[in-house]
Amino acid sequence: DAGITQSPRHKVTETGTPVTLRCHQTENHRYMYWYRQDPGHGLRLIHYSYGVKDTDKGEVSDGYSVSRSKTEDFLLTLESATSSQTSVYFCAAATGPSSGGAFEQYFGPGTRLTVT
């Protein structure tokens, strides 16, 4: 897992409540990402960060916000959870260009979120 943890690992919440998922990394990676995984869609990027307090939207950012106040923590908030946000959420991190120039992303174990 390359030093990436996610909490909680499982959560059940009600529609309309705010939810915050935490990603913590210990390898001083500059870049961090939040994805959601749904059957038939693979992984889709929600938000990403390219440094402390530097974040940007991914392809499915509506209804989500993020914050990164420290290098090691990247928080994902569902402002008002809906049933369509029931999913498995993965955090990933990358240091930057590795051999050949590509970013290698390391993934956390995932958080299974159910919105009832």
Cβ–Cβ under 8 Å, residues 58 and 45: yes
Could you say whether residue 1 binds another protein (CB under 8 A)? yes
Q: CA 81, CA 21: separation in Å to the nearest integer?
A: 12
Among 20, 24, 43, 61, binds another protein (CB under 8 A): 43
Could you say whether residue 108 binds another protein (CB under 8 A)? yes
Return the amino acid letter for 101. Answer: G
Q: Tell me whether residue 43 or residue 75 sits nearer to another protein (CB atom).
A: 43
Q: Tell me whether residue 16 or residue 96 sits nearer to another protein (CB atom).
A: 96
Judged by CB under 8 A, which stretch of 11-19, 61-69, 70-78, 91-99 contacts another protein? 91-99
Q: CA 3, CA 19: separation in Å to the nearest integer?
A: 23
User: Nearest CA to 19 among 39, 36, 2, 1?
Assistant: 36
Q: How far is the CB of 65 from another protein (least distance, A)?
A: 18
